[in-house]
Structures are given as C-alpha cells and as structure tokens.
Amino acid sequence: MPSGSRDSFTSKFGIIAAAAGSAVGLGNIWRFPLVTTQNGGGAFLLLYIGFILLIGIPVMLSEFTIGRRAQLNAFGSFKKLAPGTPWYLVGSLGIVTAFAILAFYSTVAGWTLEYLVQSISGKLLHTQDMEKNFADFSTHPYRPLVWQLVFMLLTAVVVYAGIQKGIEKYTKILMPILLVLIIFVAIRAVSLPGAGEGVKYLFVPDWGAVNFKTVLMALGQAAFSLSIGMGTLITYGSYIQKDNNLLKTSAQVALADTSIAILSSLMVIPAIFAFSVGYIDQMSPGPGLVFEVLPNVFKSMSGGIIFAIIFFFLLAVAALTSTISVLEVVVAYLKEELNFSRGKATLIGSVSISVLGVFATMSFGPLAEFQIFGQTIFGLLNYASANIMLTFGALLIVIFVGWRMRKIAFMEEVSNNGELVSIMFKIVFFIIRYIAPVAIGIIAVAALFIKGITG
C-alpha cells in the first residue's frame, strides 16, 4: 500500500524535462539515424511522424492519464483503477520489461563512458583500427562491466535523490545542455564539405524501400523512442500536478523527442558521407555506427577531439536521463507496493537489474557462445523487450483506457475536471478506443513473427 505523501514535479518545465529526458536516449541518437537511412529516408520519416501523431501521443496521454488519476506506480495504478481484475498484470509486465530494458541498455550506456574517457585521453583518435578497438573493449572480461556498473550507480544516485531533488533537478539541467550540444554538432556536421549528399540521402523519400516491415519498424521505433508501453509514463504521470494539461504535455514531449531524433540524424549521417568512412546501407543497427564509424569521422575532422568528447558526453547524458526513468518504474513499485524506503528500493532495484545486466554485457565477450533461440543474452533482452513486451504493453494500455477506464473518467482526467475544453480530447479518445488498438494489435502480432523490428 502507498506509504507517505507523494513527491511530485514542481513545474511544467520540470515535467517536460523529465519526460523528454526519458524519451530522448540511445534510441534517438544511435538507432534512429540508421533506421531512417536504411528504410527509405524521407519516406520512413513521414511514416514515423505519422505514428508519433496517431499512436505515440495517444498512448503517451493514456499512460499519463492512468498515472495521474491513480497517483501510484504502474502496478498499483492498475490495481486501484480496476480492483479485483487481472489488469494489474499489465503493471507486472511493465516491471519485468523495465528489468529487461535496463539490463541491455546499461551495457551500451556503459560503453559511452569508456568512449568518453578514450576521447578525453586522446586514445580514441590515435586508434588505427576502430573495429579492433571496439572488439577489444567490448569482449574484455571486465572493463565493460566496470563501466556498466558505474552507469548503474549514476542512475541509482539520481533516482535515490527522489523526484524533485533527483530526477527533476538533473533533467532540468541536462536536457537544455543536451539540446545545445546536439544543435552545435549538427551545424558543424551539415556544413562539412560533401555533407549535402548525406542530407539528401536522409530526407529524400525513397518509396521503393517501403514495405510492411518498414511500417512495422517505424512504429516500433516510435514506441521505443517515446518510452511508451511499459509504465514509465504512468509512473511519471503520477508525479504530474492536477492542473497540468496532459494532452499539451504529451504533444510537447513528442515534439521534443522527434526534433532531437531528426537533429541526431543531421549530426551523424552527413558527416559519414563527408568523410566516406562507411557504407550506410550495409550497416546493421548494432554498435558499429557509433563506436566504429563515428570515431573515424572524428579522426578525419579538424577539431575532431572536441567533437568526440562532446558527442560521447551527450550520448551518456541522453542515456542517463532515460535509465533513471526506467529504474524509477521499479523503485516506485518497490516503494509503494512493498513499503520499502526509497533508499532500500533503489538499492534492491539497481542491484538486481545490474546482476541481469552483467550477463547482457558478458554476452559480447565470455558468454558470446551462450545463445537462446539463436540470440545472445543481449540480443534476446533487446528483441523481447523492444519488439514484444513494449508493443503488447502499449496495446493493453490503450485497451485499458479505451474500454475499461472509459470515456467519462478519461475526459475528467484530461480536462482537469472540466476546466480545459478541447475538441481534441474527443478525437484522441476515439483514436485510443478504436484506431490505436487495431494498429498496435497488427504490429504486436507481426512482431512475434518478424525478427529485428526494433532490435
């Protein structure tokens, strides 16, 4: 049962910073540029934006609505709003998904710290063979583990400090810094000689590259990028004040996330073209782009060391504001459902996730041979969480709001008890009840059969 009074965000900007901080992460900077260029450029972008508007914002609003109405963690929210039903299982799924996501996400987040240090020390730009450099590091028996644990520790420190003094405080400082740095690097990248080709490659629609799988990938990427489908935004929603306009907040967060994804592409793709250091169509959305190709770009660029340091710093920051949002899902659950103190919940949550995370990291090295369904532990956690658990989570969340919570309760919550009036509320509810479940349902089922949708 809930213990004590609830912490909450203090300002509108704090809410946006925290939620956009969750949304903007490795998904934007690492994955989006590559997926976009490999799937028809402008055509993929249009599909992606369509999904953000049609599905992303409605699901985000659904999560905020559930959380703010119940004033509880993801698990407790379903229990409170649908007592005596199995709906709380959607909350349980969210907690399990949080474990799976954070376990593999912290592997990559840890790598960004190693690369930040290698950039600062100058080692990175003196490296002859970037592929070997990455392989040596990622397969090392303990170096990547140390960085992963450091990253988990940073995450835990912020979460332990609470909502106002931790999550809100840090995201309010870090998100503006992140935005400024991304704009700075993007401007430099697009002004490189030869970058124009890359910009074209990125934005000119190639409708020939669009097929059913592209459509699925656009939705999967949109869901992962907005952090929807596992109760992160239910948890954050429970910290949003009662007078906040939830629909407006959802739209602003989605806008920030999409803008940063596009800016990230401008930061990454044109530079690769300018220095012809990689073949985009042959790259897989694995570590290669950020940890092998980009370091080569930095090496060829004047002032590359500065850009390398800035880039890996901003990647680490983007990852951190996302990992805290995932850990908070587990911490809020332990705190409110099992009556742990925030300290104990943070300790138990982060340590148990780290244990799983160690296996994900080791699956690049000592455990590379250990495979389940033909995938390494990292691959499996990535695939199962992003492709399957998140899509089913998002599906169940819209069904819950559209068919269980129903229109009256939804309208009451989004209009702040009738204070806000907008035709959009009705339109969004219609989408939540009819359109989103069908669209996500098709994707969720297809995701079970098609490999590598968001992985």
**Residues at the interface with ligand TRP (CB under 6 A):** 22-23, 25-28, 101, 224-225, 227, 229-230, 232, 322, 325-326, 390
Looking at the Cβ atoms of 227 and 346, the one nearer to ligand TRP is 227
- Which structure tokens are listed for 79? 């229990």
Report angle CA 213, 219, 224 to the nearest 5 degrees: 120
Sign of the C-alpha dihedral computed for residues 130, 34, 353 and 19 taken in this order: positive
Structural contact between residues 54 and 289, judged by C-beta atoms closer than 8 angstroms: no
Looking at the Cβ atoms of 68 and 299, the one nearer to ligand TRP is 68
Looking at the Cβ atoms of 107 and 227, the one nearer to ligand TRP is 227
> How many angstroms separate the CA atoms of 325 and 329, rounded?
7
Structural contact between residues 220 and 443, judged by C-beta atoms closer than 8 angstroms: yes
- Residue 268 Cβ vs ligand TRP, minimum distance, rounded to whole Å: 15
- Residue 379 Cβ vs ligand TRP, minimum distance, rounded to whole Å: 17
- Residue 196 Cβ vs ligand TRP, minimum distance, rounded to whole Å: 28
- Residue 396 Cβ vs ligand TRP, minimum distance, rounded to whole Å: 14
Looking at the Cβ atoms of 24 and 277, the one nearer to ligand TRP is 24
Between the alpha carbon of residue 169 and those of residues 66, 184, 418, the distances in Å are: 24, 24, 31
Please name which of 335, 323, 222, 202 lies closest in space to residue 268, comparing C-alpha atoms: 202
- Which structure tokens are listed for 73? 């963690």
Looking at the Cβ atoms of 95 and 390, the one nearer to ligand TRP is 390
Between the alpha carbon of residue 361 and those of residues 116, 139, 357, the distances in Å are: 18, 9, 6
> How many angstroms separate the CA atoms of 401 and 91, rounded?
14
- Residue 227 Cβ vs ligand TRP, minimum distance, rounded to whole Å: 4
> How many angstroms separate the CA atoms of 326 and 100, rounded?
10
- Residue 421 Cβ vs ligand TRP, minimum distance, rounded to whole Å: 32
Residue with tokens 């009738």: 418
- Residue 12 Cβ vs ligand TRP, minimum distance, rounded to whole Å: 21
Looking at the Cβ atoms of 100 and 293, the one nearer to ligand TRP is 100
Looking at the Cβ atoms of 28 and 119, the one nearer to ligand TRP is 28
In 3-state terms, what secondary structure has residue 375? strand
